[in-house]
Every structure is written in C-alpha cells, then in structure tokens.
Structure 1
C-alpha cells in the first residue's frame, strides 16, 4: 500500500499550468524550506531579503514568482525583469535555469556580460527581451551608452547581494537602482548580512520581509571535513596523494587555489600525473571560462582547479569532493567554498591542506563554526575522527615528493612556474587579512605540528609508521661534548660530573614539561567548547519592519575574544597621581595665544607665480610617469576630470560614455527605432485595407496611395543610390533615342 502524498508541494502554491509543468519537468517535487517560505510572499508582491545556506535552492525562489508575474511574452514593452549576478558563471547558470524552468512560458531571457561583444548586446536589447540577466559593470555601461530608462522593469533580483557589494559594485548598483521605477518589486538573496546591505535595503526596499533560515547551521549536514597538516613544500605531494589514492577516479573534484599562477601550476602538475583536469580564473578569456566550466559540468573532466571566482553561487550537480589547496583567510569564504558539495541533501567531503602559517586561520574557523578543535594524538585514538586535525603517513608523501622533484629537474617550465608561484604567494600573504591575535597566541600552545596520522590515511604498516614517528621525535640525551668522544677524555668527564650534579633539576624540568602538555590537552578537550559556544539566534521568519529585525547583534568568537581582552587590560586610574599628556586648559591657551609657532608658520609662505597663462596652467597640473609612453604625463587635479554626470546626479568615469552605440546604429540602420511601433501599426492598417480591397480598381487605387506614401517617406542611402542608377539608365536610353531620331531626320533631308 502506498502512503498518502506529501502535502505542501508546488501544486499547493496556486501556480499557473505552464510554470508548474516546467517545475515538474525539471524534476522538482517538494519545495525546500526557503522556497516554501519565500515563494508565497513573493507572489503577494512583497519586497524580500532572504538568507539561507548555500545549496538550499535560492535560484528557484526568485524565478518561480518572476514567471508568475510576467506570465507571457510581450514584444513592445521592453525588459520587465532584471537579475544582477556578481560573476559571469553565476549569470550563465541563472540563464540556464530560466530556460529550463520557464520553457513553457515563452518568455525571452538574455544575458549581458563583460567581455562579450557590445554590438551584439545592443541588438539583443533592441529585441525587447522580457528578462535581463547581467553583471553590474557591463549593464551600467550599456545603460549609459544606450541611455536606457528601465521604466518598464517590474521585478528586480540581487543574487548573492553581499558578494555584489564585496566586489566593489556599490556605485554601479546605485546607478542602476536610480534608473528603476519606484513601483518595482525587489528581492535580495544573500548568505550574510553586512551593514552596507542593511543600509541599502532600508533605502531601496519598500517594507521588506527578512527571512533567515538555516543560517546558524552554516555547513550542510552531509558534509565531512578533513584537515591535513604538512610543510608548505609538501602541499603538492599531499594533493597528488589525495587524487591518486583516496579520491575515487570517477568522482568530481574542485581544487581551490589562491592565485591564478597557482591554478596554472597545479594544472601543469596534474597533466604530468595524467589526471584529466581543467581550470577557471578571472583573467581567463570569457569563452575559455565558459568552455572549461561546461567540460566539468558535463563530466568530460573530473577535476576543476579554480580561484575564489567559483566559490559562490555555482551549482555543479553531483560534486563529491572539495580540496582547499590554500586554506582561506576568512571563515565565511571557507563556508562558501565547501558549500559547493553536499548540496540539496547529498553527501560530500572537503579536504583541507593546512601549513604552519595557516594554523591561526584554522582556529578562527573552528571558533566561527562553534566546534571544538580536536587534534589527532600521536598515540592512541579519539572519538570524533571526522573533523580532527592530523597528518598523512610520511612514506606516502615522500613517494609523491620524489616524483615531483624528478619532474622539476627534467622540465624548465615547471621550475619557472614554481618560482612564479612562490613570488605570487609572497604577494598574496602581504594582502591576506590577519588572523585574530588570540588565535595566534593560542595556536603556539596547541602543538598542531605534533598531531598524529589520521586513521583514514594509515594504509602504511603500523611498524613503519611507529618507526618514522620515533625517528622524528628522537632527541639524544648526550650533548655535543659527549657524542663521538672517548670516555677518558676531559670534555666527557666534565660533562658527566656536571650531569650528576644537576640530575635532580633535569628530572624536575622534564616532569614539568610533561605535566604542562597533559594539562594543555585537558584544557583543549574540556574548556575549549565552553569558550567558543556561540549564542544561538532564532531561525524563524520575521515579518515585522526590516530595520527592527536585522539589528540583533550576534557575538562571534572574535567578539568574545575582544571582550575578554578588554576585561584583562582594564586598569583603574589613580586621579591623584595621574599626569595627563596635555594640560587640561590646552585648547583655551591655544585659542588665546597671539604669537604661536603654528600661526607664524601659516603666514610664512613663498608664492612662485608664473609670468603667463600657459605656465600658470602647467603649474596647476600634476606630472606622472607613464609606463607605456615612457615619459612624464600631466594629470588634472580636478576630481571631476574625465567624469560625466548621469541623470541621477552621480559622477561616473567618462569611459562609460563612448560613441559605440551611435556607430552601431549607423552601421545596422536602426536610426528610427522610436517610430518602429508606429510603422508596425501602419503596416497592419495597410494589410487590413488590402484584405478589404477585393475589386480590381480598389487594389489599383491602394497601390497608387502606397506609391505616394513611399515618395513622401525618408529614403535610406541604398534606396537613394538605386534611384540615381535608374535615372542614369533612363538618361542614357533617352540620349540614344534622340541621337537615332536626329540621324534619321538628316538622312531624309539628304534624299
């Protein structure tokens, strides 16, 4: 017996048939929690700010109400919906979703991205699409070039809104918003809620609803974490061990690296190792990025190497593994990276290769997630092995390291690329945000370097592993004066008597170190979870005013550290004996002073005035060395130089307004675009008249009227040339006829 069908599906949302058909064809059956809450509110026409973890189905949340609002295709009104995405990959993915979910609606969607042909984009917008999916930079450029009004836009979506502002698109977004009508419906979808986004929502949204679902869980339920420690020079060897021995060859894997140079270097190494792979980074050609992403999504290639350009928003179906080659400096970035796998209830694993300079960030991450940092002991076992920090067997790493050294010795390209990567990493470390000071202090006490081998990687025999660990931890008891010397030598005898004299102190010192280690282990296992417990916030929807909802302050681990630090450093000031740096009446004395050094220095100035206007103008200008021209060039000090003022009153760079659109109009002969609708109506009227005019004379009169109309109309250059050619032919014919007639008359006269 089959049980009753689950209620609360897409059928209960009162969607129209074409939209429901597209949803069911796509394979969606039961809405996710964020979809169940967001779609009904969006269908009511409310402005929404929705927050949910990655992979929870946010794209369908704004596409289903969009289709329901626009209903059918309209050719004359222009764009009625606008979706802004931070990256081109996310924009292309959204377009793909629109085509799949809305294929029965007949709506036309286009994508406008940086790096594509502007001429093609001009013609796309002239076709009056219903939905525009765009990146903010290029869309602002198109808006200013074409002077788009966007007055018909009813529905606006800011996908990954926090990322849009993080990438520096604030100015462009503001310009786009100023062009949109006030009656629009706006939806913001974001993983985090920074202050700039709150201010934007207050100003740009009308009585918005904030939905916070699954934010506290941060990581998907089916995600397994593994933290592998190693030396920086062993990272590539650990990566090859993971890809060759641990990860299955038929599973899809994403590798995250910090710079584009690291991406290219890893790509070359994997090619040498005969592992099929492809790569994506921001400086790559847009066509190449599209091709490489398609290769991985279709499963032709199993490994994709990327920078953080692919860390957010991109949904790769059935992704099994994520590898962090460089550990991310920001905990939120880690969440978005590993959130690419274990999406929509699936299972996945995230491997993290961590070197010594990244240990403080590892502790920051555990504080952010509210999890205890469990270090694998060198001997024995622990209960929670899943997210423990440990090592790989050294024999596994040494084998791959030897192969890597051989490749580098035989290939100059690899050695050069390795040098470039080292320089790029040094540059990256300078710009990397620092870890919290408390984490830097505490990481020295935790002794992560002494972590044991993780059980899932211990395929080496236990005797060999024990020998390697003992060799690494071995410290000889004798000093340099005792090793390799004879027993009857003076040095040996002196050190022996000294050792006997201090025997008790040495024993007590070693005992103290052991006691400290055991105490630290107990502290980390017992006290650490208590310190990093983050206060839980309610995951229920809030339908009240947006400003009252967003403000609740959540104390993160960093805030707890700051509070404890403040409490520690707080000291009482003894007012009786305290001597301040400046006198209490300092400002009054400065105001009443007549001849102070500051006032005299302000008066003492030397003006070197120019003799003529040209030299005065040159004096105002600033010189700067131009690398391309290889000479000093002048820079105008005016802040509004090389800028134009838009209709909204914002000053933007003048490079946005070029003459490309006018050139395209001349080339494609679409000067009279404004009268297109009128001409269409006229053509419809003439067709009606032709259908009514059935008789011979009625049709003849209609043709004459059409000829008169065409004479009065403005002609195109091709028509003018054609008319001139026809006139020239007529003149030639008339000339020949006249010459023949004259010849015949002369011949008659002679006779």
Structure 2
C-alpha cells in the first residue's frame, strides 16, 4: 500500500493528525479501544444496556474497518466512517448531504472525541458548525435520566443560534437528545418551562443564558461540553463579564472548544476562557476568503453613495424590480382551496433559488431603516434585520428572505457571522468595514460550499486607509486604473471609480425620492447623525495605511473608472473629460483695457504692467520707511518675526531697461522672509540600515485577527497584561494623580453622579450586583419572575444529579398529571333541531346510567342516606377539634 502524501502547504501552526489516527498502528488502536470499552462498559455481564453498548462498539469498529478496507476509492481514511461514529449519526450525516469531511472536520473531530480542548480556525463556509456538533452528539449519545444539561453552545447572535439549533436537530435525528434554545427577545416564561424538561444540550446567547442562570439559580456542575462559536466576537461584543460568570460556574473537568473564522495566533487573549492544554488547528491562513469569491471595490463620493448602490443593483447585478416568482406563487396558492394538496416546489426556496439574491451590510440600525425604505420605494422587495429589532420581527424578516419572498436583505453586522444562507450570490458593503476580519465574515455569506459569488464594496475617501489595511491583510496585488485589461477578480484587489454619467440617473432618482417623501428625508437625517457617532467610535486605521492612502489619491490612475466598465464607455468618458478640461483652461486675449497679470502680446500691455509694478513698489517703500521711523511693527508681518532689511543707494545699482526710474536720492528697501526650518524630507529611516522592532511577516494579519475591546471596561487581555507590570515610581505618581482626580462623574443617561469605577467594569452607571465570580452583572437578573412562575404553575425543580421524574418530558410544566373522570349529563333534547333524535337518544342513555342530574330517574333526591350523615358528622367533629373552642349554646 502506497504511503499517504502529506498535506500541502502546512504552516507552522498546523499539524496533521491523520498519521496519528489512521497510520500503521490502526490495529493497536482498535484493540486498545476495545479494551477500553471492555473495562468501561463491563462486557460480559448480563445487563441488557451493556449488551447494547458492546454491539455499538462492534459496529463502530466495523465501520472503521470497512472505511479503511482496500478497493474503496474516495473513502480511504477520509470518510466519516473512519472516525468511529455510531450508525444513527452516520445515517443523519448522509441524509444531511455530507459525504467527505472538510479539512477542519477531519482534523478537529478526532481530537474532540479524545477529550482535548480545541481552538479551531477556518474560513467561513468550511463546516465549523458540524465540526463541533458531530462529536458532541457522538459523546452524549442518548438522553440522560439524571437531571442536568451536559452540553452548552454559546453564539454571539440569535440568528446564528437558530441555525446551530437546526444543525443539531438534523444531525441528532436518530437520538433522543433534548435540545433547547435560549435567546433574547423570547418569552422568559416559555424558557422557564423549557429548562424544566431536563435538556441535554443548551444553545444560547451569553446575555440570556446568564439571566436564566441567576434568575433560576441553575447548577451547571453537570456540563461536560461547552463551545464558544465565533469566539472572538463573543469577547468583542461586551460579553466578558457574562462569560466570566458562566465559566466560574462550570466544572473544571469540562471540555472547552473555541471556533471562529478569524482567530489570533497567540492564545494569550483567550486564556480567560479556561482552556487546558488546547490543541490549535489553524487552517486557511493563506486563503482567508473563498477562492470562488470575486470582489470589486468602487471609490465614490459621499453624496453619490445611494445612487451608486442603486446603480450596482440595476446595472451590475441586473436585479429586476417587483415581486419575486415565489411571492407570486404564494399569492396564487393562497387564493386556492387550502384543502387541496400543495404541489411540490410552491414557495420552496430549495427548488427555485433566486439568482439575484443580495445582502447589503450597513454600519448602523438607522442606516438599515433608511436603506430598506429607499429600496422599497425604488420597487425592490426588501427584508431588514438589526440588533434592536423585535425577535418575532427578526424571524419573519429572515424567513421571508430565506423563502424567496424578497431579493434583498439589509442588515448590520449582526448577520455577518455564521449565518448560512446558501442561495446568496451577491454581497454589498454599503459602509466599508473598519476591521479586515469584519470584511472576511461579511463576504463569507456568499461563495460557500463550492458556489460562486460576488462582493462589491463602496469606499469613500475617508475609508481609503481601511481599504489599504484590507489589501495588506488579504495579501492580494493592488490593481488601480485600466492598465491591466484582464484582471482576475478572485486573486487581484481591483479598485476603480464609477463614472459620473453612470450615476446621474440613480442620484436624480434618490434626490426625487427625498424631495417627495418627507419621512425618507427624516430617516436620512437620523442615519447621518448615527453615522457621525459611529465614525467617532470605530477603530483607527494604521498610520502607514493613512500615508499610502494619500499617495494613492495623488496617483492619476486612481480617478480612472473601474475595469468592470467596458472600454468603449471609458474612452467616451475620457474624451468628454479632456474636452471639458480644454474648455476650462481656455483664456481669451486681453485688450489694453483688461490688462492684468496675464496680459501678454502688445507693447502697450507690457508698458502698463511695468508701470503698475513700479507703483506697487513705491507704495511698499513708503510704508516700510514710515514703520521704521515710528518704531512700529512692519505692515503685513507678525510682531514676532524680524525681517532682514537691506538699505542700499540707487547709485550702486543700475536700473534695468524698462524699469521705473525714480529720484537718485531715493533708498531701495528689500524685505526677505525667513526660510522655513521644516525640512522637505522628514523620512529619517534608511531602508538599508533601519531595523524595526516589529515583525514584518504577518504583522498586519495578526493585528487584524486580534481581539479589540469596544470600551474601557472591555480592554483586551494583552493590554491588561502589559499594565500588570511592577514599577514603584509609577505607583507613587499614580497615587498623587488619583488623589487629585475626581472619583465621580456625571452620567447623562441616568442623570446622576456615578463612580468612575463603573467605567472600568462596563456598568456605565447602571444598577449592578456582584456575581459569584466577583463580576458585576445586571441587577434585573434577580427579579423574582421565576419564583412567581413556579408558584403559579406548581412546579418543583429537581436538583442536578437526581433521577428524572417519570413523564417529565411529556409535561412541560413538570407538575403532576390529572385525569378527569367526571361525566356530565347532556342537555335536554330540542325538538326544533335537526339532530333531535340523536340528542334524545343521548339523554336516554344518561338517564339509564344515572349520570349527573339524571340520578333517580331524573329527580334529584333530598333524602340523605346513612353514609352521608355519618360523613358529615365526622367533618363537623374534625372542625371542632381543629378550632379547639366550645360551640355556642343556643338560647331557646
């Protein structure tokens, strides 16, 4: 058998675990696994559960043997069967459509099954979700009768959490694992009820999960498996306090996994996540975005950005206006009889995907509202999503876009990470991202799983430094101008402008909409205010990129149109611009009455010019002489400057021919300004001798991958580590500074003075409480709503580790089941109804059975039998004993 070739282009941060898992010692590994199973499962006993475990182990070993058997091309060591998964999970993977594991799955799944902590990085669309869901289902296997969740998955956004729930449900179809979703915006009472069903897997956002943990007093000691999906985004979004509180409650023996498309090389920033000897899997470090993605970058003016967006939709993407075909079919089906069987493919996005489907990214929620209204007024069906939108509305908007009822989805960065929408073919960056890794996540929504896709980015002059940062991060050659006639949009960084005549019609349409619709103009005003606030708070570009951006603007090729514009249109535009330039540069010949500084040609014009120069010189001399005599400042010069004056006699200097000849006794005064001390060349670095202390290789990449905090209380781990140095001098100086610095500040939101310490922990003056880990959390997390709900529904919470109560899963509230056995007598038959005979028959049957008020042949008896009298007497005696006081004597 030929030896397996090593993986190509492995970096220093990658390692190939295939040789360790499917190498020459595969027989020893199988025997070792069987020995482990024999010890752990107790093979040889008479217990039925042990027999099932033994059969499952044999089946897994057979799967590995069949996968590695010779004569089966395409599956040797690369299929899911070689990983030792159970048959139910393999069947679910096949039904899902997965045939061969992706590189991140091939490397991560075996390590996770071994119980190692894993940090995984791979580009978007590479199957990271399945890389941690498959081993989780394999390790948990079935529902546990013991109370307590065993798996937790943390997601930064609600849409990503919903998608992860869908994947877990599909891959766990053959098991009885219980999975619940805990995200913000949903009803707390429903989530209380879900937590009482003893779930095995919890998929949640950090804020809502911590809320339920504090409110319900959850015990997380049973958690064995925790995943941080899009880990760097979790730390950036301000979840540091929530994650610290959650991690403090988890057991030390847990298995922790971190996955993201953009992770820094150094794991120091993630040390607070509590990893224990993690294994780093860092793939696609060279190709950060999909090779099937084509991108174009357009430079536009700020006022033409809306018109450029409409131009791209209409002329580049060629998106039609009006309703989609799916929306038309849905309306047609709504008018038909609902009892008829629905035809296959009606409204199904998988049967008829929309080729023009586009997702537009904006920076603020106000800009999303404005763009959605503008595009809807232009005739496009639009869906929109942003963070503060109601959860029900977010689900409806995303569902409409997935179902094909709309062609455009306008979102903020809330949908930039992890959301899998396979039918997206175009991505437009309306607001250029301030960080390169945000761009990677945005464009990762298209060109997924082998599909093609386009990404268009609008860049203003204020965004050019961020454009240079992105070009350095991606490492693609920069193509500016039209020198390269056949660029490769997948491998080159092609930058160009949009021709003004191309945007004229779109800009006029936008201006007309703004003038006709007052609400749209108000939305634009609010969006511009929000954008100014966003620009003040976004990250700064590097200094080198700022200098390079200035050089790029000075390049004459920078103003040329983009290469997506054909040559004929570009040549016509260039001819028009040359003509306009010649018209602007035209200067007519001056007459003797219009003589100025540009006068040339005639002898009279030259005489008048020299005469004017002599008059101006005479005025300047007189002003300088008066200033010297009076001792005042020189006219037109600042007082702090001391010009050098040279007084010479006109006898020493012969006047030139044509100069004005003044009196011989007149003095010549010359004023010379001091030369600028600023050197023209301020670059003190010599490339041949200068050695930088910063690494040149991958410096821009690691800086872009790094986790940057959003505020003062969310600083990254590296800055916190640098500030932990010991310096007695600095401590003394800091003590003097703290003594003089005010400890309180005015908070505009709460309208009161708050402690400055709240700025460091991120509370910002809000009412906070200290959690178990010492972190400050919101005081609203302990509102008592769970206690009220538990008392109202009579629910008894079981402790972690107890055996689950019977029929627990069927009853959502966790209480007892009551079976009502009471039989009610029917009403008297109405002779004017059509079913009179049927009702009469039911009444007669009730009389025969003596049900309800039909006892004793329809007459209610007032006589009491012996048992009834004795029962009433016993009740009265118990009441007397309970009250412990004598009864009042009656007076006759």
Question: TM-score scaled to structure 1, two decimals?
Answer: 0.71
Q: Contact conserved, 2:146 with 2:803, CA < 8 A, in 1?
A: no
How do residues 318-337 of structure 1 correspond to structure 2 at under 5 angstroms? 318-337=423-442
User: Equivalent of 1:411, from 517, 520, 538?
Assistant: 517
- Once residues 184 and 32 of structure 1 are traced to their aligned partners in structure 2, the CA distance between those partners, rounded to angstroms, is 26
**In the alignment, what sits opposite 2:156?**
86
User: Equivalent of 1:130, from 200, 203, 213?
Assistant: 200
**In the alignment, what sits opposite 2:576?**
468
Give the SS at the match of 2:478. coil
User: Equivalent of 2:284, from 198, 214, 218?
Assistant: 214
Q: Contact conserved, 1:485 with 1:492, CA < 8 A, in 2?
A: no
Q: Contact conserved, 1:436 with 1:558, CA < 8 A, in 2?
A: no
Label 1:225 to 1:682 Cα distance change in 2 as closer, same or farther (>3 A).
Answer: closer
CA deviations 1:452-482 (Å, max 9, x no partner) are 222423397456423333256547445xxx5
User: Equivalent of 1:29, from 55, 75, 99?
Assistant: 99
Label 1:453 to 1:650 Cα distance change in 2 as closer, same or farther (>3 A).
Answer: closer
Measured after TM superposition, the shift of residue 647 of structure 1 is: 3.6
- Once residues 20 and 679 of structure 1 are traced to their aligned partners in structure 2, the CA distance between those partners, rounded to angstroms, is 29
Label 1:3 to 1:149 Cα distance change in 2 as closer, same or farther (>3 A).
Answer: closer
Q: Contact conserved, 2:362 with 2:429, CA < 8 A, in 1?
A: yes
Q: Does 1:64 align with 2:169?
A: no
**In the alignment, what sits opposite 1:278?**
383
Give the SS at the match of 2:287. coil
Q: Contact conserved, 2:747 with 2:754, CA < 8 A, in 1?
A: no
Label 1:83 to 1:27 Cα distance change in 2 as closer, same or farther (>3 A).
Answer: same
Measured after TM superposition, the shift of residue 192 of structure 1 is: 3.1
CA deviations 1:190-221 (Å, max 9, x no partner) are 23334995354476122211111112211111
Q: Does 1:262 align with 2:406?
A: no
How do residues 36-75 of structure 1 correspond to structure 2 at under 5 angstroms? 36-75=106-145
After superposing the two structures, state which structure 1 stretch, 197-206 or 15-24, moved more.
Answer: 197-206
Structure of higher CA gyration radius: 2
**In the alignment, what sits opposite 2:562?**
454
- Once residues 598 and 212 of structure 2 are traced to their aligned partners in structure 1, the CA distance between those partners, rounded to angstroms, is 88
Label 1:658 to 1:733 Cα distance change in 2 as closer, same or farther (>3 A).
Answer: closer
After superposing the two structures, state which structure 1 stretch, 201-210 or 365-374, moved more.
Answer: 201-210
User: Equivalent of 1:252, from 357, 360, 365?
Assistant: 357
Q: Does 1:167 align with 2:237?
A: yes
- Once residues 602 and 228 of structure 1 are traced to their aligned partners in structure 2, the CA distance between those partners, rounded to angstroms, is 50
Label 1:165 to 1:468 Cα distance change in 2 as closer, same or farther (>3 A).
Answer: same
Label 1:423 to 1:247 Cα distance change in 2 as closer, same or farther (>3 A).
Answer: same
Measured after TM superposition, the shift of residue 554 of structure 1 is: 3.8
- Once residues 804 and 571 of structure 2 are traced to their aligned partners in structure 1, the CA distance between those partners, rounded to angstroms, is 89
- Once residues 673 and 375 of structure 1 are traced to their aligned partners in structure 2, the CA distance between those partners, rounded to angstroms, is 67
Label 1:147 to 1:368 Cα distance change in 2 as closer, same or farther (>3 A).
Answer: same
Q: Contact conserved, 1:223 with 1:350, CA < 8 A, in 2?
A: yes
- Once residues 369 and 602 of structure 1 are traced to their aligned partners in structure 2, the CA distance between those partners, rounded to angstroms, is 44
Measured after TM superposition, the shift of residue 256 of structure 1 is: 0.6
- Once residues 264 and 405 of structure 2 are traced to their aligned partners in structure 1, the CA distance between those partners, rounded to angstroms, is 39
Q: Does 1:669 align with 2:772?
A: no
**In the alignment, what sits opposite 2:622?**
none
Give the SS at the match of 2:524. helix
CA deviations 1:214-242 (Å, max 9, x no partner) are 12211111111101111111111111111
- Once residues 869 and 592 of structure 2 are traced to their aligned partners in structure 1, the CA distance between those partners, rounded to angstroms, is 124
Q: Contact conserved, 2:746 with 2:752, CA < 8 A, in 1?
A: yes
How do residues 566-605 of structure 1 correspond to structure 2 at under 5 angstroms? none
Q: Contact conserved, 2:368 with 2:411, CA < 8 A, in 1?
A: yes
- Once residues 744 and 570 of structure 2 are traced to their aligned partners in structure 1, the CA distance between those partners, rounded to angstroms, is 71
After superposing the two structures, state which structure 1 stretch, 65-74 or 651-660, moved more.
Answer: 651-660
After superposing the two structures, state which structure 1 stretch, 222-231 or 428-437, moved more.
Answer: 428-437
- Once residues 76 and 186 of structure 1 are traced to their aligned partners in structure 2, the CA distance between those partners, rounded to angstroms, is 22
CA deviations 1:299-334 (Å, max 9, x no partner) are 221110011111111111121111001111111111
Structure 1 portions without partners, runs of 5+: 502-526, 537-552, 561-586, 592-597, 606-619, 684-725, 736-751
- Once residues 483 and 32 of structure 1 are traced to their aligned partners in structure 2, the CA distance between those partners, rounded to angstroms, is 72
CA deviations 1:120-143 (Å, max 9, x no partner) are 111111110110001111111111
Give the SS at the match of 1:494. coil
Structure 2 portions without partners, runs of 5+: 1-70, 320-353, 608-686, 705-728, 809-867, 878-892
Label 1:344 to 1:71 Cα distance change in 2 as closer, same or farther (>3 A).
Answer: same
**In the alignment, what sits opposite 1:429?**
535
CA deviations 1:646-676 (Å, max 9, x no partner) are 3444443432222111111111111464599
Q: Contact conserved, 1:84 with 1:159, CA < 8 A, in 2?
A: yes
Label 1:144 to 1:397 Cα distance change in 2 as closer, same or farther (>3 A).
Answer: same
**In the alignment, what sits opposite 1:311?**
416
Give the SS at the match of 1:374. strand
**In the alignment, what sits opposite 1:12?**
82
After superposing the two structures, state which structure 1 stretch, 188-197 or 432-441, moved more.
Answer: 188-197
Q: Contact conserved, 2:147 with 2:800, CA < 8 A, in 1?
A: no
Q: Contact conserved, 2:264 with 2:702, CA < 8 A, in 1?
A: no
- Once residues 90 and 188 of structure 2 are traced to their aligned partners in structure 1, the CA distance between those partners, rounded to angstroms, is 36
Label 1:473 to 1:125 Cα distance change in 2 as closer, same or farther (>3 A).
Answer: farther
- Once residues 41 and 430 of structure 1 are traced to their aligned partners in structure 2, the CA distance between those partners, rounded to angstroms, is 44
How do residues 329-728 of structure 1 correspond to structure 2 at under 5 angstroms? 329-377=434-482, 381=485, 383-384=487-488, 387-447=493-553, 450-458=558-566, 461=569, 464-471=572-579, 473-474=581-582, 476-477=584-585, 482-483=587-588, 485-486=590-591, 489-491=594-596, 494-496=599-601, 554-556=698-700, 643-671=768-796, 673=798, 680=805
Label 1:497 to 1:55 Cα distance change in 2 as closer, same or farther (>3 A).
Answer: farther
- Once residues 676 and 157 of structure 1 are traced to their aligned partners in structure 2, the CA distance between those partners, rounded to angstroms, is 22
**In the alignment, what sits opposite 1:686?**
none
Q: Contact conserved, 2:497 with 2:562, CA < 8 A, in 1?
A: yes
User: Equivalent of 2:225, from 141, 155, 159?
Assistant: 155
Give the SS at the match of 2:120. strand
User: Equivalent of 1:101, from 171, 174, 185?
Assistant: 171
Q: Contact conserved, 2:469 with 2:700, CA < 8 A, in 1?
A: no
Measured after TM superposition, the shift of residue 432 of structure 1 is: 2.2
Label 1:497 to 1:431 Cα distance change in 2 as closer, same or farther (>3 A).
Answer: farther
Label 1:110 to 1:3 Cα distance change in 2 as closer, same or farther (>3 A).
Answer: closer
- Once residues 369 and 621 of structure 1 are traced to their aligned partners in structure 2, the CA distance between those partners, rounded to angstroms, is 45
